[in-house]
Chains A and B, each alone.
Chain A
Amino acid sequence: MTGGLTEPADEMLMVRYRRGDRAAFAEIVRRYQTPLYTFSLRYLRDKDRARDVTQEAFLRVVRRAEEFKHESRFSTWVFAITRNLCIDELRKGRHRNHASLDASSGESAPLMDRVSSAEAGPERRALGAELQDGITRAIAGLPDDQREVFLLRQLGGVPFADIAKITDTPENTVKSRMRYALERLQKELSEFEEYARALR
Chain B
Amino acid sequence: MAMDCERFDKVTIELLYEELDELSAAAARRHLHHCTRCQGIWNKLRATKDIAIVPQVEPPADLFESIIEAERRAESALPLPERFSRLVSVIAGYAMRPQLAMAALLLLMIGSSLLFVRQDPTGRDQVSVTELGAPRSAPAEAGVRAAPVVVEGEGAPAGPAAEAESHPLAPEPKTTYSEAMAAYHEGRYAEAERLFGEVAAQGGEKAGSAALHEGHAARNGSGCQRAARLYDAVAEHFTGTTLAEEASWHAASCYQALGELGRARAHYVALEGSPAFRDRAAAALTAVDEALENARGMPRADTAVASAQAEPAPPSNQSPSDAAVAAAPVAKTTTAAPAAPAAAAPAKGAGRTEVQAGGTKTAPSP
Contact = CB atoms under 8 A, between A and B. Distances in A.
B54 A154 contact: yes
B116 to A, nearest CB: 37
Which of A22, A136, A153, A182 has the most chain B CB within a 10 Å cutoff?
Answer: A182
Nearest to B57: A38
Contact of A19 (B52, B57, B71, B90): B90
Given A22-B71, A116-B58, A154-B53, A33 B89 contact: no
Interface in A103-146: 111-112, 114-120, 124, 131-132, 135-136, 138-139
Given A33-B63, A55-B66, A111-B57, A20 B71 contact: no
A59 B77 CA distance: 12
Nearest to A179: B13
A200 B54 contact: no
B47 A55 contact: no
A151 interface: yes
Contact of A124 (B53, B67, B78): B53
B70 interface: yes
Contacts of B124: none
Contact of B67 (A29, A34, A183, A185): A29
Contact of A55 (B54, B56, B58, B70): B70
Interface stretch (A6-14, A75-83, A87-95, A186-194): A186-194
A3 to B, nearest CB: 19
Contacts of B17: 153, 160, 178
B51 A37 contact: no
Contact of A58 (B53, B67, B93): B67
Contacts of A117: 53, 55-56
A37 B63 contact: yes
Contact of A25 (B14, B52, B71): B71
A51 interface: yes
Contacts of B60: 47, 51
A51 B63 CA distance: 7
B2 to A, nearest CB: 22
A191 to B, nearest CB: 11
B75 interface: yes
Nearest to B59: A37
B56 A118 contact: yes
A140 to B, nearest CB: 11
B59 A115 contact: no
B53 A55 contact: no
A186 B67 contact: no
B93 A19 contact: yes
B14 A175 contact: yes
Interface residues of B, number: 41
- Residue from A111, A139, A175 with most neighbouring chain B CB atoms (10 Å): A175
B47 A197 contact: yes
B67 A33 contact: yes
Contact of A34 (B16, B56, B89): B56
B70 A58 contact: yes
A181 to B, nearest CB: 9
A42 B53 CA distance: 13
Contact of A116 (B55, B75, B85): B55
A41 interface: yes
Nearest to A155: B54
A183 to B, nearest CB: 8
A98 interface: no
Nearest to B66: A55
Contacts of B75: 22, 62
B164 interface: no
Interface in A62-82: 62-63, 66
B89 A37 contact: no
Contact of B19 (A120, A151, A159, A193): A159
B71 A35 contact: no
Interface in B82-98: 82, 85-87, 89-90, 92-93
Identify the 10 closest CB pairs spanning chains A and B, nearest first. A20-B90, A19-B93, A37-B59, A115-B55, A196-B51, A186-B48, A175-B13, A38-B57, A58-B67, A185-B52
Interface of B: 12-14, 16-17, 19, 44-45, 47-60, 63-64, 66-68, 70-72, 74-75, 78, 82, 85-87, 89-90, 92-93
Interface of A: 18-20, 22, 25-26, 29-30, 33-35, 37-38, 41-42, 47, 51, 54-55, 58-59, 62-63, 66, 101, 111-112, 114-120, 124, 131-132, 135-136, 138-139, 151, 153-155, 159-160, 175, 178-179, 182-183, 185-186, 189, 192-193, 195-197, 199-200
27 contacts: A19-B92, A19-B93, A20-B89, A20-B90, A25-B68, A33-B63, A33-B67, A37-B57, A51-B59, A55-B70, A58-B67, A62-B70, A62-B75, A111-B57, A117-B56, A136-B55, A139-B52, A153-B17, A154-B52, A175-B13, A179-B13, A189-B51, A196-B47, A196-B50, A199-B50, A200-B47, A200-B50
